[in-house]
Structure 1
Amino acid sequence: MIRNLSNMNKVATSIQNKLKTHLETIHLEVINESYMHNVPKGAETHFKVVAVSNKFFNLPLIKRHRTVNEILQEELNSGVHALSIVAKTPEEWENSTKIVESSPSCRGGFGK
């Protein structure tokens, strides 16, 4: 599922396709949070992903995040400025509230 996207969702679609393929996700959300930041309308620079995969089984959180970052290296090197990651196993997801917290509003950088 891709949420909060403009008509130009090339980056979000790429993120979704890569994570779905490499992680064989059971549940996947790609949320474009760029609108919450000081970027041009329709930008694809800030994302949150919620990925649920058996491939996260027995991996500590840092390795789960590294796995996602490695899969999305091309996007991170070509315009994606921020990536928030929720990475869970199916069991963890089932035992959770399944509520994805909103990211905080942009403070304009440098703690302003």
Structure 2
Amino acid sequence: MTGPLALEMRQLLTDAFAPLALEVINDSATHRGHTGDDGSGESHFTIVIESARFAGVSRLQRQRMVNAALGDIPGNRVHAVAIKARAPGE
């Protein structure tokens, strides 16, 4: 089952990047009891996204673009977000 925060992240990323592929993976269970686990079940995520908007953009800038699209979620409402962003054909 997908929680409300994962659904919100999916919608924000869809609106910002019109992705060809998007996975919002909840990794929270593997971090249970670790730093940043707030008990919500939505504290750690991996995002895998493919979008034409990443073509010609550096890896660092892609990370910044995704974090910007997520607004206050990374580091505030979620402890950790791992991002794998690629352009089509990569």
Instruction: Report the TM-score range of the alignment, normalised by the length of the smaller protein.
Output: 0.7 to 0.9
For residues 40-59 of structure 1, the aligned pairs below 5 Å read: 40=39, 42-59=40-57
Q: Quote the residue 2:13 is aligned against.
A: 19
1:77: Cα distance to partner?
5.0
Q: Compute the RMSD of aligned alpha carbons.
A: 1.4
TM-score (norm 2): 0.87
1:78: Cα distance to partner?
3.6
Equivalent residue in structure 1 for 2:86, among 88, 92, 112: 88
Query: Unpaired segments of 5 or more residues in structure 1?
Result: 93-112
1:77-103, Cα deviation, whole Å (9 max, x unpaired): 5420000000001111xxxxxxxxxxx
Greater relative CO, 1 or 2 (CA 8 Å, sep 6+):
2
> Is the partner of 1:48 in helix, strand or coil?
strand
Distance in 2, matches of 1:67 and 1:53, equals 12
1:17-53, Cα deviation, whole Å (9 max, x unpaired): 010110010000000000011232x511100000000
Query: Unpaired segments of 5 or more residues in structure 2?
Result: none
Distance in 2, matches of 1:80 and 1:52, equals 22
For residues 30-69 of structure 1, the aligned pairs below 5 Å read: 30-37=24-31, 38=33, 39=37, 40=39, 42-69=40-67
Instruction: Give the residue type in structure 2 aligned to 1:16.
Output: R
TM-score (norm 1): 0.71
Q: Quote the residue 1:95 is aligned against.
A: none
Distance in 1, matches of 2:75 and 2:59, equals 22
Larger radius of gyration: 1
Q: How many residues align?
A: 85
